Amino acid sequence: MAHFFKSRLFLISLVVVVVAATLPLYVSGYVLGLLTVAYYFGVFAMAWDLLFGFAGEVNFGPTFLIGVGAYTAGILNNQYGWSVYLCIVLGAMASVVAGFVLALPALRVRGPYFGLTTLVAVLMLQNFIVVFADLTGGEIGLTIPDVITIDAGANYWIALGFMTISAVILYGLSQSPVGLVLQASGQDPVQAGALGFNIVKHKLAAFVVSAFFSGLSGALLVFYFGTASVGTVVDVAVGVNVIVAAVLGGRRTVLGAALGAIFLIVAGEFLRPTGELATFIVSAVALLVVLFFPGGFLGAALSREARS
């Protein structure tokens, strides 16, 4: 850890966060709104990377965890009018429970089977939301009466602060002995098990941590938007974006995932004038990165630094 505080990565991150924190002083509310969403998205991607990059489990359903957190918080606020903060905490808790329930059957299987189990979880959640439309708002979406604040600057700072704290915790966890055991069990479960580590327990823990941050971020996002809908927090396409963000930024780096998420959202906005081709261009760029720089943005940068 002490070594980390002297590393270049830490200094760069610190400078970036400080510069980002001063943005509300001189950029428009529009840019702030865009970045606010990007930061929450960054947390989704980092939480996913903990599971994939370290535990080696391909979770095709990040939006199951996100959606449970987001909808629990939204429904509690909509139905009972409980305070925003209580709803957010309960949303994150619900997501942890959902992560636990999903992990128990899912961790029995590996590789593509695990991926499919998590994908099915998303499709079930999606069906559930449509079927119980009275409670969830169905395909139209759920209106949420309360918001955290309407000030663009304050919302931006909350999102930035949340992403920074999440990044510190998730990155710290990934570099800790627990993270190393996770990495070992992801790469060679048999050998890691033979060394005496309880792989299932570690993976379950990774799942729960990932679920906690996904759910918390989902709940916060819902109170920022003032609405929860399948298209924004549950759809498989959203999950695909989370995965692309993490792979694009550099898997197994945690911080790269946030970078990838911010790039995806900002690039999508810059490409808006190209209309329907925006998604095509973003996917094509992502595919080229996957083919030619499999380490992602941060992976490429770090390996260059390591070489020099």
Partner 1 sequence: MLAFQILIDGFAISALYALGATGFTLIFGVSGVLNLSHGAIMVLAAVAAWAAASTLHMNTYAGALVGVAVALVAAFATYFAVVQPIQKSRRIPNEEKEIFVLTGTLLWGIMIQELIAFFFTNNAKTVLPIVEGVVDIFGVRTPKNEIFTALVCCLVIGLLWLMVNRTRTGKAVLAASMNPRGVTLLGLELTSIYVVVWAIYGVLAGIAGVLLGMFLGVSSYSVGPLTASAFSIVVLGGLGSVSGSLIAAFVVGYLETLTAYLVSPAYRTIPALLLLVIVMYIRPQGLLGRR
Residues that bind partner 1 (CB under 8 A): 52, 56, 58, 105, 108-109, 111-113, 115-117, 119-120, 123-124, 127, 130-131, 187, 236-237, 240, 243-244, 247, 276-277, 279-280, 283-284, 286-287, 290-291, 294-295
Cα angle for residues 251, 256, 259 (degrees, 5° grid): 135
SS3 of 100, please? helix
Would you say 161 or 294 has its CB closer to partner 1? 294
Cα–Cα distance, 115 to 123 (Å, whole number): 13
Would you say 78 or 117 has its CB closer to partner 1? 117
Cα–Cα distance, 18 to 180 (Å, whole number): 30
Would you say 77 or 229 has its CB closer to partner 1? 229
Among 252, 265, 82, 236, CA closest to 159: 265
Concatenated DSSP letters of 240-297: HHHHHHHHHH-TT-SHHHHHHHHHHHHHHHHTGGGTTHHHHHHHHHHHHHHHH-TTHH
We find the least distance from the C-beta atom of residue 51 to partner 1, in angstroms, to be 12
We find the least distance from the C-beta atom of residue 198 to partner 1, in angstroms, to be 20
Would you say 110 or 201 has its CB closer to partner 1? 110
Would you say 78 or 118 has its CB closer to partner 1? 118
We find the least distance from the C-beta atom of residue 166 to partner 1, in angstroms, to be 23
Cα–Cα distance, 26 to 23 (Å, whole number): 6
We find the least distance from the C-beta atom of residue 119 to partner 1, in angstroms, to be 7
We find the least distance from the C-beta atom of residue 295 to partner 1, in angstroms, to be 7
We find the least distance from the C-beta atom of residue 47 to partner 1, in angstroms, to be 17
Does residue 213 contact residue 163 with C-beta atoms inside 8 Å? no
Would you say 48 or 197 has its CB closer to partner 1? 48
Among 125, 82, 278, CA closest to 214: 125
